Chains A and B, each alone.
Chain A
Amino acid sequence: MNLAAKDIRHNLGRFALTAVGIGLLLMTVLGMSGIYRGMIDDALVVVDRIGADLWVVQRGTRGPFAEISRVSASLEHRLRAVPGVADARSFVSHNVQREHHGQPLRMNVHGLAWPEDNGAWVTLTAGRPLGQAHYEMIADATLGLALGEKLVLGKDTYTVVGVAKGMVSSSGDGIAFFTTLDALAIQFDLSGEAIRLERAARVQRAVGRDIGQVQPLLLERGAGLASGIPALGPPMVSAITVRVVDGVDPDGVAATIAAWPDVSVHTRDGQEQLLVHGMIDKARLQIGLFRTLLVIISTIIMALILYTLTLDKIHDIAMLKLMGARNTMIVGLILQQALLLGALGYGIAWAVGGWVFPRFPRRVLIAPEDLWGLAVVVAFISVLASLLGIWKAMRVEPNRVLS
Chain B
Amino acid sequence: MTATPHSPAVEALGLTKIYGSGNTEVVGMKNVSLRLARGEVVALLGPSGAGKSTFLTAIGLINPPTAGRIIIGGEPVMDGPRALVDVRAFRRRHLGFVFQKANLIPFLSAAENVAVALEINDTPPRAARLRAMELLDYLGVADRANNLPDALSGGQQQRVAVARALANQPSLILADEPTAALDSHRGRQVMELFRKVAHERGAAVIVVTHDHRSLDVFDRIYEMEDGELRPATNQQ
Contacts and interface: CB of A to CB of B under 8 A. Distances in A.
Interface in B57-76: 57, 62-63
Interface stretch (A24-32, A204-212, A238-246, A395-403): A395-403
Nearest to A397: B62
Interface residues of B, number: 29
B30 to A, nearest CB: 20
B120 A329 contact: yes
Interface stretch (A163-171, A193-201, A318-326): A318-326
A324 B62 contact: no
Interface stretch (A6-14, A149-157, A258-266): A6-14
Contact of A402 (B53, B112, B119): B53
| Interface residues of B, dominant DSSP | helix
Interface stretch (B98-106, B182-190, B193-201, B214-222): B98-106
A10 B57 CA distance: 31
Contact of A315 (B90, B103, B117): B103
Contact of A1 (B89, B92, B125): B125
Given A10-B106, A324-B121, A325-B120, A1 B63 contact: no
Nearest to A318: B103
B91 interface: yes
Interface string A30-62: 000000000000000000000000000000000
B115 A6 contact: no
Interface residues of A, number: 23
B133 interface: no
A133 B72 CA distance: 103
A1 B116 contact: yes
A398 B92 CA distance: 12
A399 B120 contact: no
Contacts of A319: 103, 105
Contacts of B108: 1, 3, 6
Nearest to A7: B107
Interface in B82-141: 88-93, 97, 99, 103, 105-108, 112, 115-117, 119-121, 125, 128
11 contacts: A3-B116, A10-B107, A316-B105, A320-B116, A322-B91, A323-B120, A324-B92, A325-B88, A325-B92, A326-B88, A402-B99
Interface of B: 53, 57, 62-63, 88-93, 97, 99, 103, 105-108, 112, 115-117, 119-121, 125, 128, 148, 164, 176
